[in-house]
Amino acid sequence: MKITDAKVFLGGPGKNYVTLKIMTDQGVYGLGDATINGRETLTAAYLTDYLIPNLIGKDPRNTEDIWQFFYRGAYFRRGPLAMTAFAAVDIALWDIKAKLAGMPLYQLLGGKSREGALVYAHATGSDLEDLMDSIAYYVEQGYKAVRVQCGMPGMPSASYGVAEGKGQNRNYITDFSGIIPKEEIWDTDRYMRFMPGALAEIRDRFGPDLKILHDVHHRLLPREAAEFAKAVEPVRLYWLEDPTPADDQDALKLLRQHSTVPIAIGEVFNSIWDCNKLIENEMIDFIRVAVTHAGGITHTRRIVDLAGMHNVRTGFHGAPSHSPICMAAQAHLNAWAPNFGIQEYLVLGTPECDALFPSEHFLRDGFFHVSDAPGLGVDFDETEAARYSYSPGSLPVARLTDGTLWNY
């Protein structure tokens, strides 16, 4: 069996999805995702210029050897762009393998460990009352877990995860169009004074059962993160995400000495070497890698297994920029992983998105149910794809109130 051709598609409804389609001499094809927010043309070029020419003629069933060929063969290893491009190939090859077996992909990983996978929604408000309404909306929809992000009184501009507009017009996906990033202002002192109290009020309003998550988005220094984690301990968060930037694997030592709040980290990681110390030293409770950014199913499975040995559960990244192909791959890992925790789930469930990526995966009462169709269980409509093209965009940058560039 041989790979005969592969194509890359760039674009989608409101998003620059990077979709890979690998064709074989037996008519079976596989789909992969190389979407990386704000750098989509680069993973597309990595695929087109290097990986695809090297795939032609290879046996698509040799997923491991092909993964090693690209990873070890790159000489300059790792990095988000390379690992995302490898992921697209790997996901597509697992799609082919499962289609050949006539099985949903989770069967090849070890079968189902659960029926539905718990997901969390994103509630957001420009102020606390607005956020309360947004949480109530998701609770009414049946969600058992909600991430909460809130605008702060006196903060000079909106920041990550915070809504623009209120009520029906609430929209937390700010405008990321344009290659020059928009700038946000961040005030750590204001945040430290406001947010712990706001989280306590949310817990009082919604009672003990709701799983409440909060994303600091890398904004605190290690000492500040320890102080914050101590302050929010009575809220009994399901997790506190990215309290410090993830580059420093020692940054959480102080926090761990002072607080038992569960910590989730890893959405910017692209390999096991970014998180092995964090996992082995049991500095985190949830690992947040995305299968698309961490080298695909072959590599992410290794991270999940290492995590499982150290009581770390999964909480894969699933922001709106993740394509339904990434989410399908994660759904199969979630169905299998013995150490599954929760899944972030924010695919734009618009009719346009569903038409481009038809699938039978579904969400019910706050749980994601994986499709039983052979392969990944998601397709890609090329006629629909012809409607879309790349539209330049960039994530914002953050500055402190004195102008110092900070972590977005």
215 near Mg ion (CB under 5 A): yes
Total residues at interface with ligand KDG (CB under 6 A):
9
Q: Which does 218 bind (CB under 5 to 8 A by kind): ligand KDG, Mg ion, none?
A: none
Residue 72 burial (10 A CB sphere; 0-12, 13-18, 19+):
exposed
Binding mask 72-111 for ligand KDG (x = CB under 6 A): ----------------------------------------
Interface with ligand KDG (CB under 6 A), residue from 40, 95, 267, 379: 267
Q: Which residues of 368-392 are buried (b: 16+ CB within 10 A; e: fewer)?
A: bebbebbbbbbbbeeebbeebeeee
Quote the CA–CA distance of 14 and 352 in Å, as a whole number. 10
For the record, the structure tokens of 335 come out as 């169905």
Q: Which of 122, 214, 217, 317 is catalytic?
A: 217
Binding mask 159-198 for ligand KDG (x = CB under 6 A): ----------------------------------------
Stretch binding Mg ion (CB under 5 A), from 133-141, 214-222, 369-377, 399-407: 214-222
Establish whether 217 is a catalytic residue.
yes
CA within 13 Å, CB half, 326: 33
215 near ligand KDG (CB under 6 A): yes
217 near ligand KDG (CB under 6 A): yes
237: nearest Cα among 270, 218, 258, 211: 211
Asked if 148 and 135 touch (Cβ cutoff 8 Å), the reply is yes
Q: How far is the CB of 344 from Mg ion (least distance, A)?
A: 8
In sequence order, the β-bridge partners of residue 241 are: 215, 264
Quote the CA–CA distance of 88 and 173 in Å, as a whole number. 25
Q: What is the dihedral of CA 154, 155, 161, 167, to 10 degrees?
A: 30
> From the CB of residue 222, how many other CB atoms can be counted at a distance below 10 Å?
17
Asked if 187 and 152 touch (Cβ cutoff 8 Å), the reply is yes
Binding mask 36-55 for ligand KDG (x = CB under 6 A): -x------------------
Nearer to ligand KDG, 24 or 84 (CB): 84
Q: How far is the CB of 241 from ligand KDG (least distance, A)?
A: 6
In sequence order, the β-bridge partners of residue 125 are: 150
Interface with ligand KDG (CB under 6 A), residue from 84, 321, 343, 371: 321
Interface with ligand KDG (CB under 6 A), residue from 33, 184, 344, 379: 344
Q: Which of 29, 120, 138, 160 is catalytic?
A: 160
219 near ligand KDG (CB under 6 A): no
Stretch binding ligand KDG (CB under 6 A), from 138-146, 199-207, 253-261, 315-323: 315-323
Q: Which parts of this chain interact with Mg ion (CB under 5 A)?
A: 215
Q: Which parts of this chain interact with ligand KDG (CB under 6 A)?
A: 37, 215, 217, 267, 317, 319, 321, 344, 395
